[in-house]
Amino acid sequence: MENINGYIEHTLLKQDAIIDDFLKLFSEAKKYNFLGVCINPEYVTFAKKELAGSDVKIVTVVGFPLGANKTETKVFEAEKAISDGADEIDMVINVTALKNKDYDFVEHDIKSVKDACKDKPLKVILETDLLDKSEIKKACELCIKAKADFVKTSTGFVKGGAGAKVEDVKLMYETVSPYGLKVKASGGIRDKETAINMINAGASRLGTSSGVQIVQG
């Protein structure tokens, strides 16, 4: 597959990352023409400076990695990240509320962050490792109602989790694509074959820290 770099959000969300790690990330993103970088909110301003003059999008995370923050906190995080220069927001769904079938709360949580994003794309991380198929489908339906732009598989932070799975990406794509939403596969995508399988299943974005290995095949 050609132009696989155009799907990749080159990701660095590790708690113990140092500044040299970020500089390497930004340099690789520019060198390989990756679609974007995905980093924690504290480093958005730094990324904006280092990526100035490039086409690399700056993606950051909200309510990360557990999704259990107050809605007001997620809204503030999104607004602050955008004012700092973020191009896109990836928020974590409230998994407890979803599992408790508190669907009004989940929809409100997502819609509140989407409203804060205004014209910036919002991706909603479902954390598919913690959900069964019916919960994944329901979460997608709530994202449609809340007018999110993407559904995303995983944070990559679930201990022992598989991350993105082809069957989950396919289910998400089949649920949301008729309504114009897209799918981001993230978590455990470490080689070109896996990346292509995710794209073939319906992903239009790939969140991975292995972008260089993927494009080098």
Vertex 123 angle, CA 65 and 187, to 5°: 55
CATH superfamily of 4-216: Aldolase class I (3.20.20.70)
User: Predicted confidence band at 50 (pLDDT cuts at 50, 70, 90)?
Assistant: very high
Q: How many CA atoms lie within 13 A of 155 on its CB side?
A: 22
- pLDDT at residue number 154: 98
pLDDT of 147-168, one tens digit each?
999 999 999 999 999 999 999 9
* pTM of the complete model: 0.97
Amino acid, single-letter form, for residue 37: V
Q: Would you call 58 helix, strand, or coil by DSSP?
A: strand
Tokens 């979460």 — which residue?
Answer: 139
Contact 125, 91 (CB under 8 A): yes
Provide the percentage of residues in the chain whose pLDDT is more than 90: 99
Residues tagged active-site: 90, 152, 184
Contact 12, 21 (CB under 8 A): yes
211 CA to centre of own chain: 15
